[in-house]
Amino acid sequence: MIDKFVEIEINSTNTKSIPNKAIPTSVYDDPIREKFYDMRDLADNKNNWIKYSTFTDEKLFYKQAKFMENFTDNYEKTADLYMDTPCYQRMGYEQLRTYFTWRTRARGGEISGHKSMSYVLLYIYEILLGIGVDNPVDGLEKLMTLWKTFGDHEFDYSFEFDKYLPQWILDYHIYYPLPHSIEDFICEHSLQKYYSLAFHSNHTRHISEFEVWDKLSDYHIEKSIFCKDNPENIQLIINCFLTVINAIRELCNSKDISIAELLYYKRDWLIEWTPFRSAIFYPWLKQPEHSITLADGSTYHHKTNKWHQEAAVPHEYYKNIVTYFIKKTESCVRQHANFKRKITADIKYLTPEYSPHLVKLNIKPSEFEDTIETAVSQYFKSLSHIEVRVDIQNLARIRDEAQTTQDKLVVPESDFTDSIPSNENQDRALNHLPVIINESEQQQEKDAWAQLKESLTDIEKQALTILLNDDDIALFASEHNIMLEILTDNINEKATDYIGDCIIDDSMEIYDEYKNFII
């Protein structure tokens, strides 16, 4: 007889592969093969499924997954599988047995790698469908276990965990009812770097939160001279910035808004939304009509087993708002650290001219400025705060020990007078202190300024000369058909790249400490 379970050579780039000639086999003593037959027969066009049915038919995949949900196997051989979107209907007999054997072991806790990553991806598809999981929480835990196990490994298959899993986990929280929020989940598993900062918990203190803010900014602290000269200042700014962000969150809460609304707004129209895109997923779960709003402002509406989304999109100048937050924080940190070089943050992008939505949110630019300055000040106070606890029962002992110590430290006045060196001796000692000059650092500073001058255009060099001479810089910019703000911003950006600091302040004047370098 001819086996209806035909073996097929699959070209992963061609979903319309043609089956090879059927191979005669004996099936009477192979109940597993019969099981696979029954699974294939679930296709609507089971007699001509290759010609008429879609290989990635989501409903068929779900039906077959439910049919094979409790199937176990212990196949001794292994077969490779390379498919962009793996599914049972396109897999041969040995591939199916290899997969179900691997799945049996994975469900038992023996999760091992396989050079054919398509098997792992197929397992993920099942979990997304709720196949083989006790409940949504169990399914989510299994997804995270796979991510942690395979996320950093390289396989012959090109599936990238870091590319797909963050979005699928977000979709998982939208589609399935869970006892926690996506924000709490992100915080618990330290996944901040994969998600918008809107999803970060108010209590997040992980460095990756700063990384997400940093990605949205045009100013990066690692290029600052404050951090390049002293790498430990990077962590100082990061820790301080997290304190600042919490303060800004509190400011937003006082206005009955979320921090996400500073950067994003919700569209007025609905778009169709499909969960778990790029995966094979059938919306099997029957849910009542409801809506879910996420921290970024996006709202998802479910009705008659279909989903629609009100998407949140960024405001025009959202990057400049983030830039101000970071740069203003560093400016305040420099001041508290008594760093000799100042830096200024341009607050103009928080004004109604550039960010009219802040007016609607009832937040003034000065409120952000005051909030950041206060938060930085409180952070530095916390660094110098020392908590002392005294056991009252030990006060008597402490007094006795203190008195004994005091007696030992008391020195007769005559002895004390003899031990003090004369002013003449002090002056002589001070005059002989060595003067240490770090010639290497001085040379590096000179080189940085030389590179900055080379990077400036002729117009920018002329602008600096005009500023040094206190001439009319606005007139100069107008004569050359360039906005004054753009001209000075370009100069400051180049200065930040080479010397790690701005050289022109908000009053269109060159900082005094930099004038000698420009001449």
The phi, psi pair for 191, rounded to 5°, reads -105, 20
**Residue 17, domain member (yes or no):** no
Strands 312-314 and 306-310 come out as unpaired
Residue 51 — very low, low, confident or very high, per pLDDT cuts 50/70/90? very low
Within this chain, do residues 254 and 360 fall inside the same structural domain, yes or no? Answer: yes
Last residue of a domain, one of 138, 159, 180: 159
Structural domain range at position 96 = 31-159
Confidence of residue 450 (pLDDT cuts 50, 70, 90): confident
- Asked if residue 242 and residue 373 are part of one domain, the reply reads yes
For the ranges 40-44, 345-349, 377-381, 417-421, the lowest mean pLDDT is seen at: 417-421
Which span out of 181-190, 265-274, 283-292, 391-400 was modeled with the highest average pLDDT? Answer: 283-292
Rounded Cα distance between 288 and 37, Å, is 36
- Is the per-residue pLDDT at 77 higher than 90? yes
Q: For residue 387, is pLDDT > 70?
A: no
Of 98, 91, 92, the closest CA to residue 77 belongs to: 98
Note whether 227 and 321 are same-domain residues: yes
Which among 336, 360, 384 is the end of a domain?
Answer: 384
- Looking at the fold, whether 35 and 127 belong to one and the same domain comes out as yes
- The two beta strands, 264-266 and 299-303, are unpaired
Paired tokens of 465: 């000369």
Closest alpha carbon to 100 in 145, 35, 164, 185: 35
Using CB atoms within 10 A of its CB, is residue 414 exposed (0-12), middle (13-18) or buried (19+)?
Answer: exposed
User: What value does the mean pLDDT take over residues 50-73?
Assistant: 81
pTM of the model: 0.57
Mean pLDDT value of segment 236-251: 93
Segment 367-391 mean pLDDT: 82
In a domain, 117, yes or no: yes
Task: Give a yes or no: residue 270 inside a domain.
Answer: no
Helix or strand or coil: residue 392? Answer: helix
| CB 270, CB 309: distance < 8 Å | yes
Split at pLDDT 50, 70, 90, the class of 394 is low
| Predicted pLDDT at 330 | 94
Q: Over range 121-143, report the average pLDDT.
A: 96
Contact between 226 and 334 (Cβ < 8 Å): yes
Would you say residue 306 has pLDDT above 90?
yes
Question: Which residue is listed with tokens 């929280």?
Answer: 173
Residues 137 and 226 in one domain: no
The tally of domains found in the chain comes to: 3
Work out the average pLDDT over 307-322. 90
Q: Are residues 245 and 327 in the same domain?
A: yes
- For residues 489-511, average pLDDT: 81
Residue 393: per-residue pLDDT: 57
244 with 251: CB under 8 angstroms? no
Q: Are residues 497 and 364 in the same domain?
A: no
* pLDDT top residue among 345 and 399: 345
- Is there a domain that residue 508 lies in? yes
Confidence of residue 38 (pLDDT cuts 50, 70, 90): very high
The answer as to whether 50 is a domain residue is yes
Give the pLDDT score at 416: 42
| Predicted confidence (pLDDT) at residue 27 exceeds the cutoff of 70 | no
332 domain-assigned:
yes
Quick one: average pLDDT of 244-271?
Answer: 89
Which of 126, 159, 192 finishes a domain? 159
Residue 86 included in any domain: yes
Confidence band, pLDDT 50/70/90 cuts, at residue 152 = low
Average pLDDT for the chain: 81
Tokens representing 227?
């951090």
In this predicted structure, the answer to whether residue 150 has a pLDDT above a threshold of 90 is no
91-96 contact pairs (CB < 8 A, 24+) = 92/7, 92/8, 93/5, 93/7, 93/33, 93/36, 96/36
* pLDDT for 113: 64
* One domain, residues 349 and 449: no
Q: Taking 70 as the threshold, does the pLDDT of residue 24 lie above it?
A: no
Residues 155 and 239 in one domain: no
241 and 374 fall within a common domain: yes
Least confident piece of the model among 28-32, 64-68, 219-223, 352-356: 28-32
Residue 18 has pLDDT above 70, yes or no: no
pLDDT at 250: 94
Helices 232-254 & 207-216 angle (0-180, nearest 10): 80
DSSP letters spanning 27-49: -TT-HHHHHHHHHHTTSTTTTSH
pLDDT band at 442 (very low <50, low <70, confident <90, very high): low
**According to the model, what pLDDT value does residue 291 have?**
93
183 in a structural domain: no
Residue that wins the pLDDT comparison between 65 and 162: 65
Which has more confidence, 457 or 516?
A: 457
Q: Which residue would you say has higher pLDDT here, 90 or 153?
A: 90
Would you state the pLDDT for residue 145? 93
Q: Which of 172-186, 399-413, 485-499 ranks highest by mean pLDDT?
A: 172-186
Q: Are residues 375 and 458 in the same domain?
A: no
CA distance 244 to 376: 7
Task: Specify the range with the lowest mean pLDDT, choosing from 94-108, 110-124, 142-156, 272-286.
Answer: 142-156
Question: Are 336 and 257 members of one domain?
Answer: yes
pLDDT of residue 429: 40
Contact between 468 and 481 under an 8 Å Cβ cutoff? The reply is no
